[in-house]
Amino acid sequence: MNADPIGVLTGSHYLDGDHSCSEGAIAAGCRFSAGYPITPSTEVVERLASRFPRVGGRFQQFEDELAASIAVLGAVWGGAKAVTVTSGPGFSLMMEHIGLAAITECPVVYINVQRGGPSTGLPTQPAQGDMMQARFGSHGDYRLIALCPNSPQECFDLTLRAFNLAEEYRVPVVVMLDEVVGHMTEKVVIPPADQIEVTPRRYTSKKPGDFKLFEAAEGSLVPEMVKAGDGYRVHVTGLTHDERGYPAMNVVAQDKMVKRQFAKIVENADKIITFEEKNLLGAEAVVVSFGITSRIAEKGMQLAREKGAKVGSFRLITAWPFPEKQIIELSKKVKAFVVPELNMGQMSLEVERLAAGRCRTIPVLHAGGTVHNPEVIAEAILEAVR
Partner 1 sequence: MSELRENPVNEYLRLDRLPSIWCPGCGIGTTVNCFTRALTESKLDLDKVAIVSGIGCTGRVAGYMNLDSFHTTHGRAIPFATGLKLANPDLKVVVYSGDGDLSAIGGNHLVHAARRNADLLVVCVNNFTYGMTGGQVTPTTPISAVASTTPYGAYEETFNLPNLMDACGAVYVARWTAFHVRQIAKSMGEGLKKKGFRFIEIIAPCPTLYLRRNKLGDGLDEMKYYKEKSVVKNGADTREVGLDYHDKIVVGKFVDRERPTLEEAMDKRFTDVLGAKYVPYTSPGKQPLA
Binding site for partner 1 (CB under 8 A): 6, 31-32, 34, 53-58, 60, 62-64, 66-68, 70-80, 82, 96-97, 100, 201, 203, 205, 207, 226-239, 246-247
- Of 38, 44, 2, 39, nearest to 23 by C-alpha is 44
Nearer to partner 1, 15 or 34 (CB): 34
Nearer to partner 1, 67 or 316 (CB): 67
Q: How far apart are CA 226 and CA 329, in angstroms?
A: 41
Minimum CB–partner distance for residue 53 and partner 1 (Å): 4
Minimum CB–partner distance for residue 34 and partner 1 (Å): 6
Asked if residues 24 and 159 have their Cβ atoms less than 8 Å apart, the reply is yes
Nearer to partner 1, 11 or 231 (CB): 231
Nearer to partner 1, 100 or 371 (CB): 100
Minimum CB–partner distance for residue 95 and partner 1 (Å): 11
> How far does CA 162 lie from the centroid of its chain?
7
Minimum CB–partner distance for residue 154 and partner 1 (Å): 28
Distances (CA, A) of 63 to 37, 60, 146: 10, 10, 26
- Half-sphere CA count of 254, side-chain side, radius 13 A: 6
Nearer to partner 1, 55 or 376 (CB): 55
- Of 19, 377, 374, 364, nearest to 181 by C-alpha is 19
Asked if residues 25 and 48 have their Cβ atoms less than 8 Å apart, the reply is yes
Straight-line distance from the first to the last Cα atom of the chain, in angstroms, rounded to the nearest whole number: 51
Asked if residues 341 and 365 have their Cβ atoms less than 8 Å apart, the reply is yes
Nearer to partner 1, 227 or 299 (CB): 227
Q: Tell me the DSSP string of 317-356.
A: SEEES--HHHHHHHHTT-SEEEEEESSSSSHHHHHHHHHT
Nearer to partner 1, 60 or 92 (CB): 60
Phi, psi of 129 (to 5 degrees): -90, 0
Minimum CB–partner distance for residue 22 and partner 1 (Å): 16
- What region, left, alpha or beta, does residue 195 occupy, with left being phi > 0 and alpha being psi -120 to 50 degrees? alpha
Minimum CB–partner distance for residue 168 and partner 1 (Å): 17
- In this structure, what DSSP letter does residue 78 have? T
Minimum CB–partner distance for residue 232 and partner 1 (Å): 7
